[in-house]
Amino acid sequence: MHLVRIMHPFHPLSGRELACVGERYNRYGRRLLLRVEDAAVYSVPPQWTDLVAPAPEIVIGGYRALFRVADLLELARLVDQLGWRDSLKKPEQGVK
């Protein structure tokens, strides 16, 4: 067991050191299990802790950036994919 600091600026426990009691993997990747005051265990991605260096976009933005460039590109790809899928479902308007 070792201590890990939550570094994500918008996490309610940001700045606190918590005991890492284990880790697990799910479909989203690796998660750390952090104990809070012997009452609860929370699962957080390692990127939200001091175990992983923050993304350059976050550091350059003075920790004000809400999204990383990679996340925005992935979101744009998903929106395009959903728009393409919707265009296949809807019949053309004005065609009789």
Domain residues for 24? 2-53
pTM above 0.95, yes or no: no
Residue 33 lies in a domain: yes
Whether 96 is in a domain gets the answer no
Question: Is residue 22 one of the residues assigned to a domain?
Answer: yes
The domain tally of the chain equals 1
Tell me the C-alpha distance between 25 and 29, whole Å.
5
In-domain check, residue 84: no
Strand order, beta sheet including 40-44: 2-5, 17-26, 29-36, 40-44
pLDDT tens-place string over residues 3-51: 999 988 788 888 999 999 999 998 888 999 999 887 899 899 998 899 8
Is residue 78 in some structural domain? no
The strand pairing partners of 5, in sequence order, are: 17
Give the chain's radius of gyration (CA, Å).
Answer: 20
Q: Is the dihedral of CA 74, 9, 61, 29 positive or negative?
A: negative
Do the Cβ atoms of 28 and 43 come closer than 8 Å? no
